[in-house]
Amino acid sequence: METIKLFIKSALIDNVVFIQYLAICPFIGMTNDTEKATGMGLATTFVIMLATAVTWPLYKLVMVPLGLEFLQTLFFILVIASLVQLVEFFLKKMSPGLYNAMGVYLALITTNCAVLGITINCISKNYNYVQSLVYAFGSAMGFLISMVIMSGVRSRVKTANVPKAFAGTPILYICASLLSLAFLGFKGLIK
């Protein structure tokens, strides 16, 4: 029960994009069409899961005993960036189709703040290993949901008559803020 609660909380109530304001760059940059947005969302999900699975033990088993907590950001970035590279090599060889679909986004994910944000959150919220993975998966799903919703909104914005002053990126921020308000409505979902 607690696990399901944690999943819903991380995916909807504490949505990465709409509530925590992380990963705004791919959220604005990659939502041009639904297919790309889904690809980016799934690729990010994969990397977030992998990063959490590796950084949590690194922190708890190596950094805490040695008193190196202050190096969290540095080590996490180092590990995440290398992991993405490893995955890229792996995919290129084993599944060129998936690599072609995901390849461009993979490199972008290296600098995705959602990945770092979620791994650090897992630590700061004092989750155990299973909870961390559930939290990471929930947050990643939240990111995927927000990407797909935004790409749908954008396809409507494209054919709408937007006032000149708002055309382009500004209208997207307005859409994003309205969506964010809507997501605040999930606040009471779990006591």
Binding residues for other proteins, rule: CB under 8 A, are: 58, 62-63, 66-68, 71, 74-75, 78-79, 82, 85-86, 89-90, 92-94, 96, 159-161
Task: Compute φ and ψ for 160, nearest 5 degrees.
Answer: -90, 155
Q: What is the nearest approach in angstroms of other proteins to the Cβ of residue 103?
A: 12
Q: How far is CA 164 from CA 63, 156, 179, in A?
A: 53, 16, 22
Q: Which residue has the tokens 């995440």?
A: 80
How many CB atoms lie under 10 A from the CB of residue 84? 22
Measured from the CB of residue 105, what is the shortest distance to other proteins in angstroms?
Answer: 16
Structure tokens at 129: 């290993």
Q: How far is the CB of 82 from other proteins (least distance, A)?
A: 4
Name the residue nearer to other proteins (CB basis): 18 or 99: 99
Q: How far is the CB of 10 from other proteins (least distance, A)?
A: 28
Residue number with CB closer to other proteins (22 or 83)? 83
Nearer Cβ to other proteins, position 74 or 174? 74
Nearer to other proteins, 85 or 177 (CB): 85
Judge residue 65's burial from the number of C-beta atoms within 10 Å of its C-beta, 0-12 exposed, 13-18 middle, 19 or more buried. exposed
The closest alpha carbon to 132, from 118, 144, 113, belongs to 118
